[in-house]
């Protein structure tokens, strides 16, 4: 199932907040060259430009739809369809940003040394990864996927965006690569208008994609209606009919010494 820029940008201001918080922790005062890995529709690249005006920016994403949307948003910047897993260039960067993208890329033990190699001396790798696999939104997806109605089709769906390690692991791994590491975790509480449906809309743009992709239209409708029912129970509506979505996220900035 391809990524949909329109679905993803429905919650752009909520999705941008962690990226802004991440960018604010990058210690580099001058940034001449920066890369945005998994740039999506260019929202994070735009924030990178605001934080470091004048930097030469490149955005990379494996989704042609996302890259087309990013080019439309920022016609003056360089955007390229590329897989982070294989991304390699002779350039060295003052900042490499990966906001909400590395959870889709396997084998961080191999990936991180390669990304650090692409940093200029003093350059920073800035990463934010959702840390919500134990939240009801994910637990309920996994439980529903195990239903015999589609279990075979959905085998492996839960692993697609599960590439995440602990804060301790990132701290140690990046420290051993000779970087100074700043790791932290934040839980955001997003007040969404529209109750359980709004939560489902949010995740249709991201974590639900590997579950919905293999299903036919009828199955997808049933899956979504059952998922919405269970989300409504786990996240009760507030008196004004909005809903509060707790969303823990893990951050790190690793700066090459």
Shorter beta-carbon distance to ligand SAM: residue 101 or 150: 101
**Backbone phi, psi, residue 30, to 5°:** -115, 130
* E strand intervals along the chain: 33-37, 56-61, 78-81, 93-99, 119-130, 179-193, 242-256
Spatial distance between the Cα atoms of 214 and 199, rounded to a whole number of angstroms? 21
**Rounded to the nearest whole angstrom, what is the least distance from the CB of residue 156 to ligand SAM in the complex?**
16
Contact segment (CB under 6 A) with ligand SAM among 56-64, 164-172, 195-203, 222-230 equals 56-64
Please identify the residue of the shown chain whose CB is closest to the bound ligand SAM.
40
Residue entry with tokens 């134990």: 134
**DSSP codes of every residue in 66-126:** HHHHHHHH-TTSEEEE--GGG---S--EEEEEEES-GGGS--HHHHHHHHHHTEEEEEEEE
Shorter beta-carbon distance to ligand SAM: residue 100 or 231: 100
Binder of ligand SAM out of 26, 35, 96, 105 (CB under 6 A): 105
Shorter beta-carbon distance to ligand SAM: residue 20 or 225: 20
Pairs from 15-18 (Cβ < 8 Å, separation ≥ 24): 15/43, 15/100, 16/43, 16/44, 16/47, 17/188, 18/99, 18/100, 18/128, 18/186, 18/188, 18/249, 18/251
Contact segment (CB under 6 A) with ligand SAM among 57-65, 147-155, 190-198, 221-229 equals 57-65
Residues 24-53 that bind ligand SAM (CB under 6 A): 38-40, 43-44
Binder of ligand SAM out of 6, 50, 64, 85 (CB under 6 A): 85
Number of residues that bind ligand SAM (CB under 6 A): 21
**Rounded to the nearest whole angstrom, what is the least distance from the CB of residue 86 to ligand SAM in the complex?**
8
Closest-CA residue to 253 (of 104, 45, 107, 94): 94
Binding of residue 74 to ligand SAM (CB under 6 A): no
DSSP classification of residue 255: E
Shorter beta-carbon distance to ligand SAM: residue 44 or 150: 44
Shorter beta-carbon distance to ligand SAM: residue 8 or 227: 8
Binding of residue 15 to ligand SAM (CB under 6 A): yes
Provide the binding-site residues for ligand SAM, judged by CB under 6 A.
Answer: 3, 15, 19, 38-40, 43-44, 61-63, 66, 83-85, 99-101, 104-105, 206
């Amino acid at each position: 199932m391809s990524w949909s820029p329109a679905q993803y940008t429905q919650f752009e201001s909520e999705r941008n907040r962690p990226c802004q918080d991440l960018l604010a922790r990058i210690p580099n005062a001058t940034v001449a060259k920066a890369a945005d890995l998994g740039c999506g529709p260019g929202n994070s690249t735009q924030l990178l430009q605001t934080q470091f005006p004048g930097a030469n920016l490149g955005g990379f994403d494996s989704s042609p739809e996302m890259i087309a949307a990013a080019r439309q948003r920022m016609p003056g910047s360089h955007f390229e369809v590329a897989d982070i897993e294989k991304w390699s260039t002779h350039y060295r960067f003052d900042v490499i940003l990966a906001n909400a993208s590395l959870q889709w890329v396997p084998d961080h033990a191999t990936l991180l040394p390669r990304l650090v190699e692409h940093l200029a001396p003093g350059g920073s790798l800035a990463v934010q990864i959702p840390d919500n696999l134990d939240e009801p939104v994910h637990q309920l997806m996994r439980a529903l996927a195990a239903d015999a109605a589609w279990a075979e089709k959905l085998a492996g769906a839960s692993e697609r965006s599960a590439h995440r390690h602990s804060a301790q692991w990132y701290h140690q791994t990046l420290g051993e690569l000779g970087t100074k590491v700043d790791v932290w975790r934040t839980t955001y509480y997003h007040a969404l208008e529209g109750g359980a449906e709004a939560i489902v809309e949010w995740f249709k743009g991201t974590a639900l994609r590997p579950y919905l992709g293999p299903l036919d239209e009828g199955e997808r409708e049933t899956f979504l209606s059952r998922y919405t029912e269970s989300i409504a129970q786990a996240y009760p509506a507030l008196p004004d009919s909005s809903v509060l979505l707790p969303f823990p996220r893990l951050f790190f900035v690793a700066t090459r010494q």
